Amino acid sequence: MAAIDYRSAAPKTGFSLQSIVGTLVAWNDRRMTRASLNRLTARELDDIGLTRGDIDAVAYGNLIR
């Protein structure tokens, strides 16, 4: 007797629960980083070598010094 394969022939879309959760976690990390840095005064930002314009770059990990 032959085995019957019930797997779908539909192509995978590339989305998975793991990728969705990972995207949400990364978004939340960036949001929290921006919020924390925006609460600092200009003097406190200067103490750590940043300006207000650097905050988004820091949140996305694109700041190169």
Look up the pTM and report it. 0.70
pLDDT tens per residue, range 7-22:
666 666 667 899 999 9
pLDDT, tens digit, for every residue of 35-55? Answer: 999 999 999 999 999 999 999
Q: What is the 3-state secondary structure (H, E, C) of 12-38?
A: CCCCCHHHHHHHHHHHHHHHHHHHHHH
The DSSP code for 53 is: G
Tokens of 17: 């629960």
Sole residue written with tokens 């996305």: 60
Q: Which amino acid is at 10?
A: A
pLDDT the model gives residue 47: 97
Residue 56 belongs to what H/E stretch? helix 55-60
